[in-house]
Amino acid sequence: MSLYTDYLTEIATRKEQGLHPKPIDDGALVGELISQIKDSGNEHRDESLNFFIYNTLPGTTSAAGVKAAFLKEIILGDAVVAEITPTFAFELLSHMKGGPSIDVLLDLALGDNADIAKQAAEVLKTQVYLYEADTERLKTAYEAGNAIAKELLESYVQAEFFTKLPDIDEEIKVVTYIAAEGDISTDLLSPGNQAHSRADRELHGKCMISEEAQKEIEALKVKHPEARVMLIAEKGTMGVGSSRMSGVNNVALWTGKQASPYVPFVNYAPIIAGTNGISPIFLTTVGVTGGIGVDLKNWVKKVDEDGKPILNNDGNPILEQKYSVETGTVLTINTKDKKLYSADGSDELVDMAGSFSPQKMEFMKAGGSYAIVFGKKLQTFAAETLGVEAPLVFAQSKEISHEGQGLTAVEKIFNANARGATPGKTLHAGSDVRVAVNIVGSQDTTGLMTMQELEAMAATVVSPSVDGAYQSGCHTASVWDLKAQANTPRLMKFMNDFGLVTGRDPKGSYHAMTDVIHKVLNDITVSDWDVIIGGDSHTRMSKGVAFGADSGTVALALATGESSMPIPESVKVTFKGKMADHMDFRDVVHATQAQMLQQHGDNVFQGRVIEVHIGTLLADQAFTFTDWTAEMKAKASVCISDDDTLIGSLELAKSRIQIMIDKGMEHDNGMLASLIAKADARIAEIKSGEKPALRPDDNAKYFAEVVVDLDLINEPMIADPDVNNIDVSKRYTHDTIRPISYYKAEKKVDLGFVGSCMVHKGDIKIVAQMLRNLENANGSVEFKAPLVVTAPTYNIIDELKAEGDWEVLQKYSGFEFDDAAPKTAARTEYENILYLERPGCNLCMGNQEKAAKGDTVLATSTRLFQGRVVADAPEKKGESLLGSTPVVVLSAILGRTPTIEEYKTAVEGIDLTKFAPPVQKPAGTRSAHF
């Protein structure tokens, strides 16, 4: 059969699912379409023409290359298609963004036919996705005296590709739709268990919220054709938990605008709102698509005569409604006044200045942030080539500098890596910065979207300024099903060809690694001054500063080696007291959240950098803290380490990178070897005193400071989703931290899970040590609930085998993963045994393994969202409680939460993850400045 008949078969299958034909990315299939278009008598000609025009993906897909070449034939008169005139062919090229289409347009613009060259130039003036090869052609032609090249450069220096775009509407009518009450996780918008379909935008769109919600949104659009639907998190924050582009894509699909009539299911400009605004990472993604994020502030704390919040019986502030946004309410956004008004504009409801900064308004005008990033680069190139000064077209980056004020750690990192800032000017929090990116990570459930974004922006190779880039296979590691078999090898090949080190070798030379991406990025980050961008909200390294990002921002970082964002404010976290011997560091992490709320009332971490003075804790263990900062709703975290500790962490990173090289994972570009060399250089700087470990200045300014008292932590702590809280907004928030005694040893536990990015080698050793202890005390170990154990990386398993711990785990396991025969279906039932699972995210993702509906799960993971690890049953809500490794193991053995006495007995003599506050630095010690 031909590719076309295969495509028709696929179309028939999709039609049964209520889906349209899948957009075409295969050049060979487009070749068949063209053959049928040229054959005037072909029965499939009209259909093929429609697919060619309206259903072929742009950018650097092979389909785009074949399409652009045929359009060139039409323009030159070498092919004649009645329905595609040369003028229409130019219009189609203008919607193809870059790559082959730019090649064709440059061929025509710099060619001998003056009339065609003029038309091609007019299209090129609207394009921004030009890369070095394209701009070099223009420069060469200009220097050779080509008039069209000069005309193009003059247009680019004036940024006509931006200035000639229509301005955003002064008034935007919106109609509200409340998606849910309380914090809304992106799991509601793009469920983890549907991760396999994210690259198929129409199919994935069907999983947003619910089918009923989708019908309600469509009904609102019909009833209010003049308004755009605004999706709302009532009494909560929108988009917590993950940064996923797929969540914004889905909202845009149902409520946004179509980006191009010739590209299906790619929408932009969604309008998203929350009583407490939008989570920082999700808001960045909204900006990528040129959307609007609204901080509604429609519920406020009720206060007494003294201005103090009035509390309810649970000790929580009582909220009162300032104005209503119930579903179906029509409101008006005024982009000039930057305010939200009632429908007729008579009542001012909330100030929206934060939603309409000059930079955000540029994103809205351009249809997204990429066009601005590439447009600025193109303007700079044109000015340099012409030898002129570029006029001020784009909004000036906000540069905030306070004379005499020191720098926080993140301010130092941003100043050191800033691009395009005023030379010699010290920038403080709030400044807009283009910042160089050193390390980039792409994970597998969003990787296919990153791949699409790279193709769409016509990128072909990782930026030479990126030190390290990695593509993981951890989010889909549990089950090697048909979806994984179809998607993963294709993703790995694309990324490896692009220049990334990949968990799976496209050539099949090395064993496939499903190591958790955050752990790998933590290892390949080899400087405390690095900036890291990763396609997951838990991109939180214990060296440098890391930001979880959407797949598009990851693509932009890979292609350009930079990212743009304001310098965030910081909250300083320090420790005092002594950690009790029976406590685990995970309990310190939970206590930080609890004590912060006690000290400040509100979550001062939200949207800010947590600067944690970790001192003597090595990178592996410190990662437990930084990883959790995503659940604290922080934008990022920075660890302040002692010199010796940092050197130890860098030596550990070097050894892990060397293991990757030894296993055959080195890329042809020598990326891993260069990281080891960079680590050596950084170690030499620290040892010589030339540049000690990163520290903030003593006179740095913080938004707030939190002091964690270790003496107050005397029993294990659990993060409880509080699923039955009468206040819906208090459920699934990570803010309910309870001591183990709260449960009175009566809380039934149906499943235990030790795994995800929150654990390190020491955690798996704790499991083995507890089994030894219990065996010595009782003769054997019997589980009253299943216990799933998933090491984060293969390296850890290798080390556990060498040290004798894996043998203990094997003894008690009823299942051990086998890479030679991976599972092809998700487990649906569990026995009361120990399961040794393949390295990866496992239960924490919710896309493959899952607990039984209605179960109470006690896990070391990060996710307590509704439906992620465990779904609700009709008679009982599923619960995902989060605790330390020893608590999880003991609870699985007992089938319930333990008493504090049972816990202390079980961990006696076990080497738990210890922590001590850093000693005060000697007087006169100076930190290294950028």
pLDDT, tens digit, 9 for 90 and up, residues 883-911: 999 999 999 999 999 999 999 999 988 88
Average pLDDT over residues 31-54: 96
Structure-block tokens of residue 709: 């008292």
Tell me which of 216-220, 739-743, 796-800, 913-917 is least confident: 913-917
Map tokens 């020893």 to a residue.
886
pLDDT given at position 798: 93
Query: Is it the case that residue 925 has pLDDT exceeding 50?
Result: no
Query: Is it the case that residue 695 has pLDDT exceeding 50?
Result: yes
Q: What is the DSSP string of 649-669?
A: HHHHHHHHHHHHHHTT---TT
pLDDT given at position 528: 97
Structure-block tokens of residue 908: 């006696």
Determine what percent of the chain is predicted with pLDDT higher than 70: 98
- Angle in degrees, 0-180, between the axes of helices 619-628 and 761-778, rounded to the nearest 10: 100
pTM for the whole structure = 0.84
Query: Is it the case that residue 921 has pLDDT exceeding 50?
Result: no
Report how far Cα 746 is from the mean position of its chain's Cα atoms: 38
What are the tens digits of pLDDT across the range 57-84?
999 999 999 999 999 999 999 999 999 9
pLDDT given at position 791: 92
Answer for the pair 505, 489: CB distance below 8 angstroms, yes or no.
no
pLDDT given at position 156: 98
CA atoms within 13 A of residue 820's CA, in its CB half-sphere: 0
Average pLDDT over residues 801-830: 92
Minimal CA–CA distance to 736: which of 839, 616, 881? 881
Using CA atoms, how far residue 716 sits from 624, 885, 890, 898, in Å, is 16, 10, 12, 10
Structure-block tokens of residue 597: 């709320």
Determine what percent of the chain is predicted with pLDDT higher than 90: 73
pLDDT given at position 551: 86
Query: What ranges make up the beta strands (E) of 758-829?
Result: 787-790, 813-816
Report how far Cα 919 is from the mean position of its chain's Cα atoms: 35
Separation of alpha carbons 872 and 783, rounded Å? 24
pLDDT given at position 621: 85
Identify the helix (H) or strand (E) that includes residue 921.
none
Report how far Cα 661 is from the mean position of its chain's Cα atoms: 27
Separation of alpha carbons 36 and 31, rounded Å? 9
Minimal CA–CA distance to 605: which of 576, 629, 624, 640? 629
Centre a 10 Å sphere on the Cβ of residue 627 and count the other Cβ atoms it contains: 27
Tell me which of 1-5, 321-325, 675-679, 891-895 is least confident: 1-5
**Per-residue confidence band for 427, with pLDDT thresholds at 50, 70 and 90:** very high
CA atoms within 13 A of residue 767's CA, in its CB half-sphere: 32
What are the tens digits of pLDDT across the range 569-605?
999 999 999 999 999 999 999 999 999 999 998 899 9
Tell me which of 312-326, 398-412, 548-562, 670-684 is least confident: 312-326
With helix as H, strand as E and coil as C, how does 68-133 read?
HHHHHHHHHCCCCECCECHHHHHHHHHCCCECHHHHHHHHHHCCCCHHHHHHHHHHHCCCCECCHH
Structure-block tokens of residue 388: 């002129």
pLDDT given at position 827: 87
Minimal CA–CA distance to 185: which of 250, 233, 229, 230? 233
Centre a 10 Å sphere on the Cβ of residue 220 and count the other Cβ atoms it contains: 20
Beta pairing class for 432-436 and 418-419: antiparallel
Sign for the CA dihedral angle at 622, 623, 624, 628 comes to positive
Tell me which of 3-7, 139-143, 186-190, 256-260 is least confident: 186-190
Query: Is it the case that residue 914 has pLDDT exceeding 80?
Result: no
pLDDT given at position 923: 36
pLDDT given at position 740: 96
Average pLDDT over residues 157-183: 96
3-state secondary structure of 913: coil
Query: Is it the case that residue 115 has pLDDT exceeding 90?
Result: yes
Separation of alpha carbons 752 and 897, rounded Å? 11
Map tokens 């939008």 to a residue.
278
pLDDT given at position 926: 32
Residues in the chain, total = 930
**Per-residue confidence band for 919, with pLDDT thresholds at 50, 70 and 90:** low
Beta pairing class for 545-548 and 348-351: unpaired
What are the tens digits of pLDDT across the range 840-885?
988 888 777 889 999 999 999 888 888 888 989 999 999 999 999 9
Residue 554 neighbours by CB under 8 Å, 6+ apart: 440, 441, 442, 446, 450, 453, 533, 534, 535
Answer for the pair 205, 264: CB distance below 8 angstroms, yes or no.
no
Average pLDDT over residues 819-830: 89
Structure-block tokens of residue 565: 């964002």
Q: What is the mean pLDDT of the chain?
A: 92
What are the tens digits of pLDDT across the range 741-778?
999 999 999 999 998 888 888 899 999 999 998 888 88
3-state secondary structure of 522: helix
Separation of alpha carbons 768 and 765, rounded Å? 5
pLDDT given at position 1: 57
pLDDT given at position 384: 96
Average pLDDT over residues 131-135: 92
Residue 692 neighbours by CB under 8 Å, 6+ apart: 643, 686, 927, 928
Map tokens 């931006």 to a residue.
162
Name the residue type at position 537: S
What are the tens digits of pLDDT across the range 368-414?
999 999 999 999 999 999 999 999 999 888 899 999 999 999 999 99
What are the tens digits of pLDDT across the range 630-677?
888 889 999 999 999 999 999 999 999 999 999 999 999 999 999 999
Map tokens 């399961």 to a residue.
835
pLDDT given at position 243: 56
Identify the helix (H) or strand (E) that includes residue 882.
strand 879-882
Identify the helix (H) or strand (E) that includes residue 469.
strand 468-471
Cα 873-875-880 angle, rounded to 5 deg: 50
Centre a 10 Å sphere on the Cβ of residue 672 and count the other Cβ atoms it contains: 20
